[in-house]
Amino acid sequence: MNFKLTEINPAKLQEFYDNFDGEKTFLQTEKFGKFREKLGEKNIILGIFTDEKLVGVAQVQKITARRGTFLHVAHGPLIFAGFLGEALPFFLQEIKKIGRKEQCDFVRVSPLLAKETKSAFSREKFRDAPIHINPDRTWVLDLRQTEDEILKNMKKSNRYEINRIERSGIEVVQGNSRENLDIFWNLHLETVKRQGFTPFSRKTTEIEMEVFGDDCQIFSAKIGDKFYSSSVILFDNFAGYYHQGSSIYSKFPVAHATLWAGILEAKKRGCQEFNFWGVSPEDNPHHPWTGLSRFKRKFGGEERKYLCAQDYPLTIKYWLNWAVETWRRKKKGY
């Protein structure tokens, strides 16, 4: 089977994404590409064709960092199942060529593919990346259930907390305004101080809100005049995504309230899934995400595990990046 790889326009990418029935996330949508461009990155949209038929797409960012420049295929490529066996090796060969043309130090592919596809990467001399930029283990809730079924299938303790929301006098405010962002950001700074992680910049979140528009909603829970928890949820035609969260201590289910509101909004929009994003392995209780992952799993759903991010070194500078990322991973306890 003869394939060709060529650049396509954002509308063609979005059309393919909307009709693709395999594993996918908003990282391969037109809006995400525009967002990355506004951050100053080069965004390359590629189509895989055979006999003039578009059978796969890949949105690729060129990322420049002090430790090296690289191409990143975030949660891609997306390839129709019947063509994957032949189109994936072809794509991997071609993306290496583009990496060289763009004078990159390495290529990183973070696919939503099963572990069984690793042999295709190994044959093309890709290797496991030291870290993942985007999650390769996620928690997903099926929204094709009724609301009663979702409640029935979540953990009993979580169902109790959901039922406590209204009784506790919790009000959830939803929106996409600067005021909504102010509420989230004040809580976010408190969360960063408490947990000691490196946050997105406020400017990054502002750009994201601008580009995604109505598909970026902030849900904030308050009791009386005080806000306790806030979540940034992204939406596309397929799913809702738990993108960022923040909270301060309360004995009431304020964090449950923001996520439950996000889930109901995704269901109202006709989404098929709610993606809680990354979770830690259940057999690693010392992982820094353990507490948050336990919270996400209580809503019910299933874990999905994908092939870990794959790197193809292009210059010796890749090994500096490998050393830095390996050190960071060990320091964080991943």
Q: Give the tens place of pLDDT for each residue, 159-205.
A: 999 999 999 999 999 999 999 999 999 999 988 877 777 777 899 99
- Residue 116's Cα: distance from chain center in Å? 22
Quote the percentage of the chain above a pLDDT of 70. 99
**CA of 163: how far to CAs of 157, 173, 198, 210, 324, in Å?**
10, 18, 34, 34, 46
Three-state DSSP at 35 gives helix
Cis peptide before 281 (omega within 30 of 0): no
What is the arithmetic mean of pLDDT over 90-115? Answer: 97
Is pLDDT above 80 for 285? yes
198 token code pair: 């490196």
- pLDDT digit string, tens, across residues 46-65: 999 999 999 999 999 999 98
What is the arithmetic mean of pLDDT over 268-277? Answer: 98
Q: Residue 198's pLDDT is what?
A: 72
Q: In this structure, are 23 and 66 located in the same domain? A: yes
What is the arithmetic mean of pLDDT over 235-257? Answer: 95
326 token code pair: 């390996």
- Residue 118's Cα: distance from chain center in Å? 21
Q: In this structure, are 81 and 112 located in the same domain? A: yes
Q: What is the mean pLDDT of the chain?
A: 95
Q: In this structure, are 247 and 115 located in the same domain? A: no
* Cα–Cα dist 95/5, whole Å: 9
138 contacts 279 by C-beta, under 8 angstroms: yes
Strand pairing partners for 53? Answer: 50
Strand pairing partners for 62? Answer: 42, 71
51 contacts 270 by C-beta, under 8 angstroms: no
Q: In this structure, are 243 and 202 located in the same domain? A: yes
Q: Taking the CA atoms of the chain, what radius of gyration do you get in angstroms?
A: 20
Q: In this structure, are 50 and 39 located in the same domain? A: yes
* Cα–Cα dist 229/267, whole Å: 21
215 contacts 236 by C-beta, under 8 angstroms: yes
- Residue 114's Cα: distance from chain center in Å? 17
Q: In this structure, are 113 and 217 located in the same domain? A: no
Q: In this structure, are 174 and 300 located in the same domain? A: yes
Angle at 249 between CA 248 and CA 250, to 5 degrees: 120
Q: In this structure, are 8 and 68 located in the same domain? A: yes
- Of 304, 300, 268, 262, the C-alpha closest to 141 is 300
Q: In this structure, are 288 and 151 located in the same domain? A: yes
* Cα–Cα dist 31/42, whole Å: 14
244 token code pair: 């960022």
Quote the percentage of the chain above a pLDDT of 90. 88
Q: In this structure, are 67 and 215 located in the same domain? A: no
For the domain that residue 224 is a member of, what is the CATH number? 3.40.630.30
Q: Domain span at residue 206?
A: 138-305
Half-sphere exposure of 81 (CA within 13 A, CB side): 7
Q: In this structure, are 208 and 318 located in the same domain? A: no
Q: Find the length of the chain.
A: 334
Q: In this structure, are 148 and 229 located in the same domain? A: yes
* Cα–Cα dist 191/187, whole Å: 6
Q: How many folded domains does the chain comprise?
A: 2
Bridging pattern class, strands 302-305 and 137-142: antiparallel
Is pLDDT above 90 for 133? no
- Of 304, 231, 217, the C-alpha closest to 268 is 217
